[in-house]
Amino acid sequence: MAEETTNTGSSGICASVIDAIGYAPVVDLSRLAANLDGRILAKLEYLNPGGSKKDLISRAIIDSAEKKGLLKPGQTVLELTSGNTGNGLAMICAVRGYPFIAVMSRGNTPERAAMMRGMGATVVLVDLDDANQGITAEDMKRVEDTAAGLTEEHNAFRADQFNRQENAEAHYRHTGPEWLRQTGGDIDAFCDFVGTGGGFAGVARAFKEHDPAIQCFVVEPDGAAKLAGQCISCCAHVIQGGGYAKELPLLNRDHVDGHLAVKDEDVAVVTRRLASEEGIFAGYSSGANASAARQLLQGDFRGKTIAVTICDSGLKYLSTDLWRDGHED
């Protein structure tokens, strides 16, 4: 497992914003876990320049495509996205001179689309079948079909984050080793909300190679926990970027030690507590991870150390109920 390095000169100045990706700090969520026996350690991936952990895989996919000759100078890059990978790709394409088209469901927040457009991307929004039902597997298929048609129309390079091994490999070579270096490997469990499954797959692989005793848990929304074998009863959960009730090719089931389901109301409360008690202004998936970690510390992992990811910034959710005045916990 070889850790990647950044392209900085002797002065420490990055050649571009792309080289500022990665090396997020780890903090102890001591206030959030104050009434519990154990520790929750959080890696602040939302501090990446594009505002999420997906900056890393965006760079990895583009770097690999350039090296393999799959992406030609000036060629259009295209990807379906809930917004975070789109933000990462928009940032990288802006620097390297590629036109970028993001295909996104209208079920995701408009802040993400605005951010991509600000970096020069074209954003194609796909209507939901029923907004009250959330983003369903059928909605995702429509987004996929739209992306496939536009890829052909524009002769575009498809980033294909759900299937490209560069996704999981980036976290295996970068995020996992960072965790181990920053914590000295003193981790008992890792829990991660899965979107593509690449983040979980890469970090879990690195952890298992370091110490097979580290337990790795997939986090899903209650009511849409397909990977746990749960009957799908509700796709209208608050957590964007995952919980699509679909199979994930990048996920290595051999590294999954268990599944944790989180309820919307708990996720919202914990996400707000991250902001009000820890000063970490994050999105729903981060709250899902921290809520799952609290579940572990209240159960068989009392007295243990749990690792979680702070996936993206709360600035991407200002239009949701999460940060509106008058919310009730």
- 3 found inside a domain: no
| pLDDT tens, position by position, 301-312 | 999 999 999 999
Active site residue 54: yes
- 164 found inside a domain: no
Strand partners, 219: 193, 260
- pLDDT of 327 higher than 90: no
| pLDDT tens, position by position, 210-233 | 999 999 999 999 887 778 887 766
Q: What sign does the CA torsion over 183, 270, 36, 299 have?
A: negative
Rounded mean pLDDT, 68-90: 96
pLDDT at residue 130, as a whole number = 74
Q: What is the CATH number of the domain that holds 105?
A: 3.40.50.1100
- 9 found inside a domain: no
Cα–Cα distances (Å) from 268 to 106, 272, 287, in that order, read 21, 6, 7
Cα–Cα distances (Å) from 140 to 13, 68, 123, 144, 149, in that order, read 40, 29, 16, 6, 14
Q: Among the options 54, 58, 286, 316, which is catalytic?
A: 54
pLDDT-derived band of residue 138, with 50, 70 and 90 as boundaries?
confident
Rounded mean pLDDT, 138-165: 95
- pLDDT of 280 higher than 70: yes
Active site residue 285: yes
Q: What sign does the CA torsion over 165, 170, 176, 179 have?
A: negative
Task: Decide which of 124, 158, 192 is a domain's last residue.
Answer: 158
Q: Are residues 127 and 185 in the same domain?
A: no
Number of structural domains (the chain) is 2
Q: Are residues 148 and 204 in the same domain?
A: no
Q: Among the options 52, 285, 291, 313, which is catalytic?
A: 285
Q: Which domain holds residue 261?
A: 17-52+172-323
- pLDDT of 91 higher than 60: yes
| pLDDT tens, position by position, 175-198 | 999 999 999 999 999 999 999 999
Order of strands across the sheet that contains 304-310? 26-28, 38-44, 304-310, 189-193, 215-221, 258-262
Q: Are residues 176 and 154 in the same domain?
A: no
Of 312, 313, 276, 306, the C-alpha closest to 291 is 306
Of 51, 112, 102, the C-alpha closest to 77 is 102
Q: Are residues 119 and 198 in the same domain?
A: no
- pLDDT of 19 higher than 90: yes
- 150 found inside a domain: yes
Q: Are residues 69 and 152 in the same domain?
A: yes
